[in-house]
Amino acid sequence: FDPPLSEKGLVQAFDKGVTLRAKGVSFSAVASSPFLRCVQTAHALLRGMQDEHTPIHRDYGLSEVLSTRNMHGRAPDFL
């Protein structure tokens, strides 16, 4: 089950991006869990920052379900 980010969450991420841009914050890359809501958060944050170029890297290690820590140190074969 991989639910999307709520409309409220999208607005909050976008607004945080606006705040970060106003403070002069920029990123060279963004790391995200591969879950849909996490990737949507990263995209909304960057849109709020008016940043269309920073890459978003999906990292399975950032997933609470797919991290090797929760799999007793063994990653699934597809990783």
H or E stretch at 42: helix 36-48
36-55 pLDDT per residue, tens: 999 999 999 999 999 999 99
| pLDDT greater than 70 at residue 70 | no
CA dihedral sign of residues 23, 56, 74, 76:
positive
4-26 pLDDT per residue, tens: 999 999 999 999 999 999 999 99
| pLDDT greater than 60 at residue 75 | no
Q: Tokens at residue 68, please?
A: 């090797």
pLDDT at 61: 80
